[in-house]
Structure 1
Amino acid sequence: MPRLHIKAVYDEINTSVWPRRGLTDLNKQKMALVNFRFLVLLAITQYSAADAINRTPRQQGPASIFTIGNGEQCLGGDRSTGGVCLSRNQCNTQGGKAIGFCGVFATCCSLNACDIRTNTKVAVFINPPLSKESSGLECSYNIEINNNNVCQMRIDFETFNLAPPTTVEAVDNVTQRPGYLCKNDIFRVSNLHGNSEALPFLCGDNSGQHFYVRVNASINDRSVRMDFKLADRISQPNLPQATWKIKVTQLECFNTLGKYRDGILDAITASLPSTPFSSTADRDEYFIAPPGCLQYFPERAGFFESFNYNRGAGPYIANMAYATCFKRSPDVCGIKLTAATFDMAYNADSNLYLDTDCKVNPLVQGKALSEDYLFIPEAETADGLRGSKFCGNSAANQIIASTPPGPLYVHFKSDNLVTTDVPEAGYRFTYNVLNNCNLK
């Protein structure tokens, strides 16, 4: 909407909106001024709201100067330290520290302590100051459900560096040993009423990663707990110092009443708090993950990698089984995957490392053979090689199209076995969703 020219609007009101029907000049001017103020306020509301609506979810602007604590991200006074925008009372109650201002009535709050409890829509947790003397601690965060519409939490590891997963030392004449597990530093999510088993323990380098947690307030699933357990650096001085910055966003499922917002009502209600006519679920819908997905990428292009990819050095973590999913819009027929790195274990050396090379045949179960693989449904390489389970280096230097009839996803599985001289570095893919599934 174009900017208003104040004098032009005033002249319009004064000359045409209020006809001259016996009103004194003074009364006409008073009425014109009142309506002028109303029209200007309405226009500003429409302009601001429409601008907010047209932004993508990753382009939301800074908080208003009248913010009283909306839980959105903010920067402290040094313009580099991140926090969340809360009232001073909320910040103190949640054990945070004020590091700046975000609006006249709110403070930028850094949650860089342990044993924090919060119920804000967005929360950013930062590791407390750590040293060798203070390591060996346990740090917990409790995120309480913001409202009954919340159905998922997205946990973004903006910074995540813990001690790497480890296995036992190799022994002469023994080719197999237990897989790489989180034994020193451990991150876990719990209090999920039986759903916690589906969420892996994490350690190592996972900056830039994320995962989703399903919640259901209707069955008294009112909170999620994140725990860090750190190894003592005095007895193990070679371990890297632990650091983290984790953003937790509570996502609301779509409210059908939001479908009926349109026109000027849409523009006004979009800038107001949640009402029967406006729900933050409208904005959250973009990020809601399909059922069963630990990771979800709604963008049409990007990259994904194994946990503790560690810039190609790995190793990936043992005993994992999870799905990474991608948004399937009506125009999408599949997804193209290109591996920057792909280096996994295998159980048979046939130079193809596909399907039966990646999973043990039931007839030979009980043997110490690897069953690590990445499952890519209905996969076909650009040179015509078809398969579904990829292990070894079978996906390296390949362009792979996955064109399943249903959801777009890949499934990673790792066992609890390491074979000497068989690397388990992991994988990193770039992806693009396709509306033309002929790669040739």
Structure 2
Amino acid sequence: WGVGVVRFENSVCKGIDGAVGTCYTRRQCRDIGGVPSGLCAAHIGYCCVVQKNCGEVSSDNNTYFVNHNFPNTVTGPSACAYTIQRCSPDICQIRIDFLNLNLAQPDGNGVCNVDVLNIVGGATNVPQICGQNSGHHVYVDFNGQQDIRMLITTGAGSTEMRTWRFKVAQIGCDSPSRAPSGCLQYYTDAAGTVSSFNYGTTISSGLTTNAKPGTRQLANTNYGICVAPKPGFCSITWSQGSDPYAFSVSEETIMQPGVLGTSNTGDMKCKTDFVIIPNSMMLGSNMSSVDRYCGNALPTVTTSSKPFVLTTVTDADEMNDNGNRGFSIEYSQSRCTSTFLMF
């Protein structure tokens, strides 16, 4: 008698704890260092969840990288590295979800001088990241045959209880979910909220040289936040919402308690820290289109320029930006309108 071989697709699945895995046989899961978490493929396969710790390498899709003994915290100096390899030759990009990322805040000038996350080896420039960044994500392109590495360093002299947990998904070169070139972050909903790294409502404890509270805004950033245009939608509106401090990317915020700050626009006023919204116009204004916005408030602006992108730029000196949070702003796409002429 012959023995039948049961085959099934190694598709993406969800484990019993909600973690994303890949459907394998129990032996395949064990061979790649994964943990079976529930059944898949009509109960003949196992949802294999792969979780790696410091110093480990993975070429498996949907790998989780965590600190040692997560969810326990990391205290004191440490160094942790993860290496990400392609799972197949037709992979061009990865998406890293910061499911949990809590590191020490930057110093008063926005520099990650105690703790820092560096993502290196890819073709995408990722700024140094520190502070509280749970919920953020980044897209990183592979650079030829090089591996992508995530390096986390924690320093002495901080009482921060550090934790991190990342999910790394690999994206095919022809995948519709691949982020366009130049987009470090990529959103696909018709409406939502985007924020700068380490945005938060509390003031950073790091002091500037003039002994005022420092900035939560990170120094030395230059990256694009992109929104995928929905079919039938032709423009996008960016707005600050009701929080008067939800946009503070330059000037001194700490001296303006309880009042909406000053909005500045244009290349002449916005030279150090700013956001760029190409060919945008203030809602209800007859002003010609502008690109740059800075200061302590963002006017509601709209643009039909595609792709929909907001670029954030900060320089190396945040010394005078006391109390700044960065930004957390809302976007909403608008449907195309057609005009019919009657004769």
Which residue is equivalent to 1:84? 21
Q: 1:72 to 1:378 in 2, by over 3 A?
A: same
1:401 deviation in Å? Answer: 0.6
Which residue is equivalent to 2:139? 212
Aligned amino acid, residue 264 of structure 2: Y
Residues of 1 paired with 2:337 and 2:185: CA distance? Answer: 24
Q: 1:415 to 1:425 in 2, by over 3 A?
A: same
Q: 2:92 aligns with which of 128, 148, 151?
A: 151
Which residue is equivalent to 1:434? 334
Aligned amino acid, residue 353 of structure 1: N
Within a 5 Å distance, the mapping from 1:260-279 to structure 2 comes to none
Question: 2:278 matched to 1:353?
Answer: no
TM-score (norm 2): 0.77
- 1:378-411 deviation digits (Å, cap 9, x = unpaired): 122223155321111230xx3211222x321111
- 1:256-292 deviation digits (Å, cap 9, x = unpaired): xxxxxxxxxxxxxxxxxxxxxxxxxxxx41x211111
Which residue is equivalent to 1:142? 83
Q: 1:74 aligns with which of 15, 27, 44?
A: 15
Give unmatched runs, 5+ long, in structure 2. 1-5, 204-214, 253-260, 339-343
Q: 1:135 to 1:437 in 2, by over 3 A?
A: farther
Secondary structure of 2:132 counterpart: coil
Alignment RMSD, CA only?
3.0
Percent identical among aligned pairs is: 25
Choose between structure 1 and 2: higher helix proportion. 1
Residues of 1 paired with 2:37 and 2:180: CA distance? Answer: 37
Which residue is equivalent to 1:200? 127
Q: 1:299 to 1:411 in 2, by over 3 A?
A: same
Which residue is equivalent to 1:247? 167
Q: Does structure 2 conserve the Cα–Cα contact (< 8 Å) formed by 1:309 and 1:316?
A: yes
- 1:74-111 deviation digits (Å, cap 9, x = unpaired): 23xxx36x363455556555555x37433454354351
Residues of 2 paired with 1:134 and 1:427: CA distance? Answer: 29
- 1:204-257 deviation digits (Å, cap 9, x = unpaired): 1111111111125xx323x2111211224xx53x22x11122111111122xxx
Q: Does structure 2 conserve the Cα–Cα contact (< 8 Å) formed by 1:67 and 1:106?
A: no
Which residue is equivalent to 1:118? 58
Which residue is equivalent to 1:291? 181
Q: Does structure 2 conserve the Cα–Cα contact (< 8 Å) formed by 1:401 and 1:437?
A: no
Question: 2:247 matched to 1:342?
Answer: yes
Residues of 1 paired with 2:96 and 2:334: CA distance? Answer: 27
Secondary structure of 1:151 counterpart: strand
Choose between structure 1 and 2: higher strand proportion. 2
Residues of 2 paired with 1:305 and 1:112: CA distance? Answer: 28
Q: 1:375 to 1:140 in 2, by over 3 A?
A: same
Aligned amino acid, residue 131 of structure 2: G
Q: Does structure 2 conserve the Cα–Cα contact (< 8 Å) formed by 1:373 and 1:391?
A: yes
TM-score (norm 1): 0.61
Which residue is equivalent to 2:294? 391
Within a 5 Å distance, the mapping from 1:225-236 to structure 2 comes to 225-232=149-156, 235-236=157-158
Q: Does structure 1 conserve the Cα–Cα contact (< 8 Å) formed by 2:251 and 2:321?
A: no
Q: Does structure 1 conserve the Cα–Cα contact (< 8 Å) formed by 2:63 and 2:168?
A: yes
Task: Select the structure of larger CA radius of gyration.
Answer: 1
Question: 2:116 matched to 1:186?
Answer: yes
Q: 1:437 to 1:379 in 2, by over 3 A?
A: farther
Secondary structure of 2:275 counterpart: strand
Which residue is equivalent to 1:24? none
Q: 1:102 aligns with which of 31, 35, 39?
A: 39
Q: Does structure 2 conserve the Cα–Cα contact (< 8 Å) formed by 1:337 and 1:430?
A: yes
Q: Does structure 2 conserve the Cα–Cα contact (< 8 Å) formed by 1:296 and 1:326?
A: yes
Aligned amino acid, residue 344 of structure 1: V
Q: 1:421 to 1:309 in 2, by over 3 A?
A: closer
Q: 1:71 to 1:243 in 2, by over 3 A?
A: farther
Give unmatched runs, 5+ long, in structure 1. 1-64, 168-178, 255-283, 360-370
Aligned residues: 302
Q: 2:277 aligns with which of 348, 372, 376?
A: 376
Aligned amino acid, residue 345 of structure 1: S
Q: Does structure 2 conserve the Cα–Cα contact (< 8 Å) formed by 1:303 and 1:428?
A: yes
